[in-house]
Chains A and B, each alone.
Chain A
Amino acid sequence: KNQVEQSPQSLIILEGKNCTLQCNYTVSPFSNLRWYKQDTGRGPVSLTIMTFSENTKSNGRYTATLDADTKQSSLHITASQLSDSASYICVVTSGAGNNRKLIWGLGTSLAVNP
C-alpha cells in the first residue's frame, strides 16, 4: 500500500535553531518527492521537488535530502525564523503521465518560539 509517514508529528524549537523533519515512504512506482509548507488555514506552498536521481536540493534556508534506496527524505531548516511556524508536508508522486497520483503525508507541525 502506498504510504507516506512523517516524524515527528509536532516540534517546538527556539528562533535561530536548526531542525530536521523526516519522511519515510512506501510508494511504487516512485516519480518524485516534494516538501510543502502549509500555513494555518492556507494552501500548501511547494518548497522543493526531487526525482530519484537527486539526493539534495536547497531553497534558501530549506535543504531537502532524498535516499531512494532507503526511501527516506528529510527537510532541514537552518536558522529558524518565527515565520517558519507551519505544517511541513511530504508528498510523493507515484506513476507518470496522466496516471500521476500524489501520496500525502500528515505533516509535521513546527512551532518556532521567540
Chain B
Amino acid sequence: EPEVTQTPSHQVTQMGQEVILRCVPISNHLYFYWYRQILGQKVEFLVSFYNNEISEKSEIFDDQFSVERPDGSNFTLKIRSTKLEDSAMYFCASSSGTSVFSETQYFGPGTRLLVL
C-alpha cells in the first residue's frame, strides 16, 4: 500500500541553524501539507501546497519557513533559523484532493526535531 515517507526520523540541531525536512508524498496525490505537533499539544496546520505553490498557510508559517517541491517526488520544509520553540514533531501529509469525499489526508511517520 502506498505511503508517505519522511526523512530523517529524528533531527537535533543548534538554535539558529537551518534544517530541511524531507517528505515523499504518495505518487498520484496532488495536495501536500506540513503540520507540526508540539509534545502534548494539538496537531497544528502549517501549510498546504498545490500546483507548485502554497495554497494556504497558517500564522505559524512565517518568513522563517519555506516549502519546495524540487522534483517530481520530494516535498521539503525548510526552517531558516531554528528557535527553541520549533522543537516538535513535523508531519507531512498528502491527499488526492479531487473531491470533499476523497480528501483524506495520508500522514507520514513524522520527523522529530529537537532544537538545542
Interface of A toward B, CB cutoff 8 Å: 31-32, 34, 41-46, 49, 51, 89, 93, 96, 98-102, 104-107
Interface contact A106-B108, CB-CB below 8 Å: no
25 A-B residue pairs with CB within 8 Å: A31-B100, A34-B104, A41-B110, A41-B112, A42-B110, A43-B4, A43-B107, A44-B43, A44-B107, A45-B107, A46-B104, A46-B105, A46-B106, A51-B101, A89-B43, A93-B103, A96-B100, A98-B55, A98-B56, A99-B56, A100-B103, A101-B45, A104-B43, A106-B42, A107-B42
Q: Which residue of A lies closest to B58 (CB)?
A: A101
Main secondary structure of the interface of B (DSSP, over half): strand
Within 8 A of A (CB), among B21-77: 41-45, 48, 50, 55-56
Interface size on B, residues (CB 8 A): 24
Contact of A49 among B48, B89, B91, B101 (CB under 8 A): B101
Min Cβ gap A104→B in Å is 5
Give complex CA distance A50, B80 in Å: 38
Residues of chain A contacted by B100 (CB below 8 angstroms): 31-32, 51, 93, 96
| 17 extra interface residue pairs, beta carbon distance < 8 Å, beyond A41-B89, A93-B100, A93-B103 | A31-B100, A34-B104, A43-B109, A44-B91, A44-B107, A46-B105, A49-B104, A51-B101, A96-B100, A98-B50, A98-B55, A99-B56, A102-B105, A104-B43, A104-B44, A105-B42, A107-B42
